[in-house]
Amino acid sequence: MSLSKGFTLIELMVVLAIIGVVMSIVLTNQSTFNKTLILQNTAYDIALTLRTAETYGLGSRAVGVTANAGYGVRFQKGTSNSFILFADTSPVASCASPDCKPGDHVYSSGADALVQTYTLGNGITVSDFCAYVGASASCAYAHGGSLSSLDIVFTRPNPDAFISAGASSYSDACLTISSPQGGTRFVSVASSGEITAGATPCQ
């Protein structure tokens, strides 16, 4: 009696089908993980830019011949894939003492010094930004969409954040970071200067 060794065609097809299913699951999960990681990294990059503005402002980093300038970040409605880092140099200081500071905590195009423009990649956007006074919120799109811009400025000697939109001042801010593949992350800034990249959703 002779015994045949090896696999039958049906066994080979079953094994190949199992391998195919496992590979598709792995590749799908890897793609989802990569998209989530990119979105999370972008939120941390925005928080890091805000922290840079805080460091420059508290460190009184000179801008040309201007001393004691505050530094801030502006988010603009309609340019959701970019934001700017600026030095708050306008209006000029109105006194001559060593601690006299220029600026009005609001970005003025052409007057304040533009430090850098940041452009987000991979289709990720700042899909909304909100500012708060207590529990009352004003946003670029939610809650009636009344905000056209948001400025977050830091100036010496305190780490407090000056949060403003036009002529209005606010106590806190929240940014919504969105990916075209789905998913959102949130960055919050408190008036105390606390910056959180993994914040709770904007309300």
Give residue-wise pLDDT tens across range 77-99.
999 999 999 999 999 887 777 77
Give residue-wise pLDDT tens across range 157-169.
899 999 999 889 9
Where is pLDDT greater, at 26 or 168?
168
pLDDT for the residue numbered 45: 97
pLDDT for the residue numbered 24: 77
Judged against a pLDDT cut of 70, whether residue 4 lies above it is answered with no
Where is pLDDT greater, at 32 or 46?
46
pTM beyond 0.75: the answer is yes
What is the CATH architecture of 25-196? Answer: 3-Layer(bab) Sandwich (3.55)
Tokens at 144, concatenated = 């009636």
For tokens 């040309």, the residue is: 64
pLDDT for the residue numbered 30: 56
Cβ atoms < 10 Å from Cβ of 136: 10
Give residue-wise pLDDT tens across range 100-130.
889 999 999 999 999 999 999 989 999 999 9
Pick from 66, 75, 71, 70: nearest CA to 53: 71
Per DSSP, 57 falls in state H
Where is pLDDT greater, at 58 or 96?
58
C-alpha–C-alpha distance, residues 94 and 88, integer Å: 14
Query: Residue 9: pLDDT band by 50, 70, 90 thresholds?
Result: confident
C-alpha–C-alpha distance, residues 3 and 30, integer Å: 44
Judged against a pLDDT cut of 70, whether residue 138 lies above it is answered with yes
Where is pLDDT greater, at 191 or 34?
191
Are 68 and 77 contacting, i.e. CB atoms less than 8 angstroms apart?
A: no
Helix, strand counts (H, E) of the chain: 1, 11
Where is pLDDT greater, at 142 or 36?
142
pLDDT for the residue numbered 19: 87
